[in-house]
Structure 1
Amino acid sequence: MTEVLSQPFTLKFTTCQRPVRHTPDFLALTRGTALLIDVRPADLIKPDDALKFAAAQRAARAAGWHYAVVAGWRPQPWVALEMLSARRRAMSDPLGLLPELLELTAEQPRRLGELVAATSWPTLARAYLLHLLWSRRLTLDLALPLGDESWIYLPRRG
């Protein structure tokens, strides 16, 4: 990404019924191309917006750019954040799960189910692992739903 422009221009066009104006939200410039972006929560998109988005997409295509409407996050991150936030409060570790979990993930990234099964207290390790994810001692890829198949990593430092 070389530059991001907020509300870079206003499109003016005429439909069968009336003249219309639309200002896209962002233009992200990259090496060799650009991405025109409109941002609107999905539940607020009206039929008139769909017309404006179609015009913005057509203008972007004519300029050789890409176009996207951002209408919200995928559902997986929301579900995962809700689940992790339940473990946001400080937790004691009388069974020593922290060193076990950190050591197991330091060797290599592991799937969540495999990781907790490799500990001495799998049921308790699952709850503690969620706390470690929330507190950023461990990390995961939110592109997939949070579950036993999720990859768990040590976070990058620096």
Structure 2
Amino acid sequence: MASDSCGLEQLVAPYAVDEGVETRLSLGQGWLRRWTTAWRFDGEEVIWALRDLESVPLFRSQLVRRFGWGTRQRHRPGLQFMVSTGRHHGFESLEEQRLLLALDFLRVREVLPQPFRLSFEHSEGRAEHIPDFLVVMADGGRWVLDVRPRALVGDADELKFAATGELTTACGWRYAVVTGWRPHVWSVLDALSAQRRPVDDPLGLQVELLAAAKEPVAFGDLVQATRLPVVARAHALHLIWHGRLAIELAEPLSDATLVSAGARRDA
């Protein structure tokens, strides 16, 4: 799992909706017309059928449901700054905040929280679901994401997740339910994120680090190869976050971690 070239699907723990749940969805003739999505523009909701979603001006849309703050609520909402977008983005839980940090690491183009309300048909009637995020990746691909700890996923949630999966398949988008992270991913990203913002390098330590990483080298030896190893540690983390150096994300970050030239070495 190379840090400079991994994708979202490699970072999150695998999760799949039970196949039996999908049989409860009403996917007969004309379902792309009957299933609808509600988007908000200038404070007003506008309805689009699934068959017409390509015409939605995504970047002009607003939250279809606003976040709430209260003294007795059990979840923790807030705002997370993302270097890749240059803005703050809302989240409703610590799990969602972690996802935003991971998306920032992947250098996404845009993140839209609470983007739309899906209204879909199933064997017992009709239901609605508001996904947590709609994400435009660096390559232009679109992901719809829901965040829910695995232990909290119930039968009603699985039905909504299955319906959202059908929506994204019909649109050519991708969908994931983030229930957790692969081993060591979150701890490594958390450590790297300390140096994700722009940093000044008046001593030219980044040039020294890039030169020392022409061949794979242990992190401890890499920083020792510079004039100021203590300062170089911060710059090394910054270069790894931005893909100019690369490490293996599936292992703990330590002085023994191998560091190599990243795909964005000359960025």
| TM norm structure 2 | 0.36
Answer yes or no: is 1:54 the counterpart of 2:158: no
**Distance in structure 2 (CA, Å) of the matches to 1:142 and 1:51:** 38
Identity of aligned residues (%): 34
Partner secondary structure for residue 163 of structure 2: helix
From 14, 17, 40, give the equivalent of 2:121.
14
RMSD: 4.2
Please show how residues 1-158 of structure 1 align to structure 2 within 5 Å: 3-29=110-136, 33-80=141-188, 105-109=209-213, 111=216, 113=218, 115-116=220-221, 133=233, 136-139=234-237, 140=240, 141=246, 143-144=248-249, 145=251, 146=253, 148-151=256-259
Q: 1:9 to 1:65 in 2, by over 3 A?
A: same
Give ranges in structure 1 of 5+ residues lacking alignment: 85-100, 120-127
Contact 1:53 1:69 in 2 (8 A): yes
Runs of 4+ in 1 over 6 A off after TM superposition: 81-84, 101-104
| TM norm structure 1 | 0.55
Give the number of equivalent residue pairs: 130
Point out the structure with the larger helix share. 1
Partner secondary structure for residue 20 of structure 1: strand
**Distance in structure 1 (CA, Å) of the matches to 2:144 and 2:190:** 31
Alpha-carbon offset, residue 60 of structure 1: 1.0
Give ranges in structure 2 of 5+ residues lacking alignment: 1-107, 193-204, 241-245
Q: 1:107 to 1:47 in 2, by over 3 A?
A: same
Contact 2:247 2:259 in 1 (8 A): no
Q: Please say which structure displays the higher CA radius of gyration.
A: 1
Q: 1:50 to 1:132 in 2, by over 3 A?
A: farther
Q: Structure 1 stretch 36-45 or stretch 142-151: which is displaced more?
A: 142-151
Q: 1:81 to 1:22 in 2, by over 3 A?
A: closer
Contact 1:77 1:142 in 2 (8 A): no
Contact 1:77 1:143 in 2 (8 A): no
